[in-house]
Amino acid sequence: MKRREFIISSVSGGLAGATILAGLKEAHSASATESQKKKTSKRSLIMYASRSNNTTKVAERFKNTLEKKGWQCDIFKIEQKGDPMAFPYYNFNDYDLICAGSGLNMHVPYEELFTVIRVPRYHGVPGVKELVKGTGGQGPVHEKIVLSPDFPKCISFVTFGGLEFGPWEAQPALDLINVEMAHNKITPVGTFCCPGRFFPYDVPSTYYNDLTTRPNEKDLVSAELFIEQIQEAIDYRPPPSIVNGVQVLP
């Protein structure tokens, strides 16, 4: 697959509600040496909006899994009425992987997540000397963006009710989060979703008849396996080599 096709095609991650984009799998080169496979200290950020604690459970399982594999992990819950300018982790380029997640309202992620994601485009990066284009609250400068596997990576994750159609109801939200992240020159590499508690009682006639217990341990194990696959693909990607002063990507 050509590098410009990095995020165009996708394949099933082998987990219910999980998708790992094909380009990330290719990042794990068969020719990688054992020394390249050794753990390195990588940084991750989990930022999410949760109003019913469903998404919090997934975010915390992601964090535990990332740290178990030796990654540094910052985690931040975005409050519904919080100040987006107080978000402390806007320099997204500091991270190897960013996990952006939310619960859903009428099939759409919570607005507070988008408010935070859009701050670098509209206002610059607080505390960073060289601000991104579109500073001062004037709106972003529109230009073509070609995503690269050398940008920071991101995944989107949501919890949802899915009363009528199940996982299909989550897909537009997952794509929307990844599109918003891509506007910050961050390359999407996967999506994860699982059901979450919706009503205080179960409705047998709906797609899921056990929402009062979701996400359950099986859902959280799926989240753990998903993020492990993402980690491994990033960890094992061979570093670029320099030939006659030119960076040659694997």
pLDDT in tens, 9-39: 333 333 557 776 655 554 444 334 333 444 4
Reading the block at residue 155, the tokens are 């995944």
Give me the pLDDT at residue 139, please. 62
Q: What is the pLDDT of residue 134?
A: 43
Looking at the predicted structure, is the pLDDT value of residue 175 above 60?
yes
Position 142 confidence tier, pLDDT thresholds 50, 70, 90: confident
| Angle subtended at Cα 166 by Cα 211 and Cα 98, rounded to the nearest 5 degrees | 90
The number of C-alpha atoms within 13 Å of 98 and in the hemisphere containing its C-beta is 26
- Give the pLDDT band (50/70/90) at residue 150: confident
Predicted TM-score (pTM) above 0.75: yes
Query: Which of 81, 106, 96 minimizes the C-alpha distance to 233?
Result: 96
| High-pLDDT (> 70) share of the chain, % | 73
What percentage of the chain carries pLDDT values higher than 90?
60
Looking at residue 16, its pLDDT comes to 59
Contact 110, 49 (CB under 8 A): yes
Residue with tokens 């799998």: 25
Distance (Å, whole) CA 80 – CA 111: 8
Per-position b or e across 36-54, b if 16+ CB within 10 A of its CB: eeeeeebebbbbbbbeeeb
Mean pLDDT of the residues in the chain? 81
Which helix (H) or strand (E) covers residue 184, if one does?
none
pLDDT at 203: 92
- Mean pLDDT lowest among 95-109, 177-191, 198-212, 235-249: 235-249
The CA distance from 91 to 93, in Å, is: 5
Strand spans (E) along 13-128:
18-21, 43-49, 72-77, 97-105, 108-109
What pLDDT is stored for residue 4 in this prediction? Answer: 35
Pick from 20, 228, 101: nearest CA to 7: 20
Least confident of 65-79, 117-131, 144-158, 182-196: 117-131
Stretch 197-222: mean pLDDT: 95
